[in-house]
Amino acid sequence: MKATRLAAAATLCVLALGCQSSLAPAGSAATSLPEYSEGTSIARAVSLLPADAGPDTKDVPLPLSWETYPTTGDVRVLKEGFEQAERIVKEVVLYAAGQAKEIKVVIYAHKTDPDYLHAALIRDGITYDIGTVAGYRYDQDDNLIVRNIMLFRKQVIQIQGMVGAAASMTRYIDVEDGIPKPLLLVEDGHAVQIDVDHDGLPEVTASSGTIPYTTIYRWKDGHIERSRLNDALQAEAVRITDEGAIEASFGTDLSQVRLYWLKENHLSQFASYSSEEYYSDRFVTIPYTPEEALQIRNQADALRIFEPLVPRKGIATDYGVDVREEPNGVLKMTFPHFSIYQSKTDLKPPEVDPASGTKHFFPGFSAQWIGPDEGGGGWYLQRGSTFISISTAKPYNADQLLFVAASLVPLEELKLPDGTATNTALPVTRDYLFALQAANEFATAWTHRDPENGLRWVSDAWKAVKEPLEADAYFRGTSNPHHMAFELSGKRKPDERTFLFDIHLYEYYTGQPDYVHGFPFDRRGWTLEVIKEGTNEWGEGIWRVNP
């Protein structure tokens, strides 16, 4: 399974020290970074490639080999229904977009098969045999996944079952034309749908083994293709990272790690580390002290940036962060090799065409590169209510900075090295209850599409910048999708006149199945600001919402 390795010479990696961003957002002033020199916490790293690591391909696109992967025949009609069923294990009713009739998937134990569970699909009174879907012993509900999804621009039913302690079987059934047809069977690892090339459409990846062997399946020119990443990279182990990059480990001792982005037909290497460096808790991973986390929180609160984000991964060095306020309400976080700017308003230069630049898609956001690939460019993105840009003046390219952008997490989700979290529970006080009432009444009015009551609970500042029809439409919404429900919980109290709440407002598209964007449509999960606008005659706070 493993290709012959090519010998490689030792590679010396000397990391540049210090940093100053050359791409500050519009309206912000350039500021100098902390001075770092040898003898401080910034380290020089020497990475020795193992002899069997294969050639380093940094800055050289690595072509991927794709092979056609055939589908597995047609489904068979079960004229006898479930006569051969020993017992029914699970039944799931699904709905297909634009089709009034439901689809039922039945998983059952077959009288003549002591090794596997089988599945059948029922539509329009016809029962179709899907085949084996799980090991006989894995009949627990949480070991059997049945759902409808969009895959390869098709309406697809996914049936996934366990066949071993760390192995699964996944069938994807095409149901777009009414009659079910096999689309893809994955048996070489646990299959998941991931947008590996970050073009906005998911592929299927499968990884198997404690030393992972990873395969990617994609739709190309009317058929499915497969690429085996371990073979393409001549790597012992390959996996997809939490950031959506491809991580390959080389050498029989897995002592060398390289990171890649998958482009349409090739891999682009953007980093190479020893395993000791890569898995260190303060070299690629960025550590934060409690003091740094508190400083970020306080500076962000002062700028009314209530959803600040921080990178968990960076460009390798020992880390520290300098946090300061820039003009026009911009928060700047300076790391040794890059800078991150955050604001409540868009940071893109006003003269930039919104359609220009390369875009990469990640779960919940997209990142747009504006500027030249080498020096002077930067990534721009929005997460929740926070606008972000990431740039560097050092000789690092867009692919390296994209890894930083993909690693961003909300500050409140950051785990500090001592294991503590940065968020704390809100104490229930009189002010908290009145602020919660305002948030709840606001969300209830939105759900009931009731502008008259809703406008009683929003702040004077918000109403002052809204036209009457615009404010009315905010609560009324549209006929489809229509306002459906909300979730609300207390978050933080940044100052004596402000409470923050986590809120999700959900909309529902009538008749749409789960996998269609809009069932329910998460209008936005964001931080709701509730401010104190005065007190009433009993001395109780008057709290209003800033949507």
pLDDT digits (tens, 9 = 90+) for 441-474: 999 999 999 999 999 999 999 999 999 999 999 9
pLDDT score of 517 = 65
Cis peptide before 180 (omega within 30 of 0): no
d(CA 14, CA 9): 16
**Is the confidence at residue 52, as pLDDT, over 70?**
no
pLDDT score of 319 = 75
pLDDT score of 254 = 93
b (16+ CB within 10 A) / e for 25-56: beebeeeebeebeeeeebeebebebbebbbeb
Count the neighbouring beta carbons within 10 Å of the beta carbon of residue 517.
9
pLDDT score of 442 = 96
DSSP 8-state assignment for residue 137? T
Residue whose C-alpha is closest to residue 262's, from 236, 238, 234: 238
Kindly report, residue by residue over 329-362, the tens digit of the pLDDT: 999 999 999 999 999 999 998 877 767 778 999 9
Count the neighbouring beta carbons within 10 Å of the beta carbon of residue 251.
21
d(CA 249, CA 439): 49
Contact 265, 390 (CB under 8 A): no
**Is the confidence at residue 372, as pLDDT, over 80?**
no
pLDDT score of 519 = 67
Mean pLDDT along residues 216-245: 94
pLDDT score of 97 = 62
Domain layout of the chain by residue ranges = 69-218, 289-413, 430-546
Q: Is 143 left (phi over 0), alpha (psi -120 to 50) or beta?
A: alpha
Query: 394 — phi, psi (to 5°)?
Result: -85, 170
Q: According to DSSP H, which parts of 214-258 are helical?
A: 229-233
**What share of the chain has pLDDT > 90, as a percent?**
56
**Is the confidence at residue 255, as pLDDT, over 70?**
yes
**Is the confidence at residue 502, as pLDDT, over 70?**
yes
What single-letter amino acid sits at 224? I
Cis peptide before 61 (omega within 30 of 0): no
pLDDT band at 395 (very low <50, low <70, confident <90, very high): confident
> Pseudo-torsion of CA 22, 28, 34, 38, nearest 10°?
-10
d(CA 170, CA 189): 9
What is the separation of C-alpha 530 from the centre of its chain, rounded to a whole number of angstroms?
A: 28
Tokens of 524: 């936005």
Contact 398, 369 (CB under 8 A): yes
Largest CA distance in the chain: 82
pLDDT score of 35 = 35
pLDDT score of 374 = 64
Tokens of 423: 């968020």
Q: Which residue has the higher pLDDT, 197 or 50?
A: 197
**Is the confidence at residue 174, as pLDDT, over 80?**
yes
Mean per-residue pLDDT over the chain, rounded: 84
**Is the confidence at residue 5, as pLDDT, over 60?**
no
Any idea which architecture 430-546 has in CATH?
A: Roll (3.10)
Task: Give the three-class secondary structure for 537.
Answer: coil
Beta strands in 75-196 (DSSP E): 76-77, 85-95, 102-110, 116-123, 126-135, 144-151, 154-164, 167-174, 181-186, 190-194
What single-letter amino acid sits at 122? I
Three-state SS sequence of 35-84: CCCCCCCCCCCCCCCCCCCCCCCCCCCEECCCEECCCCCCCEECCCCCCC
Mean pLDDT along residues 261-273: 91
**Is the confidence at residue 541, as pLDDT, over 80?**
yes
Kindly report, residue by residue over 20-49, the tens digit of the pLDDT: 333 444 444 333 333 333 333 333 333 334
**Is the confidence at residue 508, as pLDDT, over 90?**
no
Tokens of 238: 């390959």
Mean pLDDT along residues 3-24: 36
pLDDT score of 420 = 64
Residue 56: CA count within 13 A, CB half-sphere: 21
d(CA 115, CA 380): 52
Least confident of 175-179, 362-366, 400-404: 175-179
pLDDT band at 373 (very low <50, low <70, confident <90, very high): low
pLDDT score of 265 = 82
Residue whose C-alpha is closest to residue 297's, from 333, 271, 338, 328: 333
Contact 486, 503 (CB under 8 A): yes
Spatial strand order in the sheet of 358-362: 322-326, 330-334, 339-343, 386-391, 378-383, 365-370, 358-362
d(CA 486, CA 500): 16
- The span from the first CA to the last CA of the chain, in angstroms, equals 56
**What share of the chain has pLDDT > 70, as a percent?**
84
Q: Which residue has the higher pLDDT, 375 or 191?
A: 191
pLDDT score of 81 = 83
pLDDT score of 61 = 83
Least confident of 97-111, 112-126, 138-152, 289-303: 97-111
Contact 164, 184 (CB under 8 A): no
Task: Tell me the β-bridge partners of 535.
Answer: 541
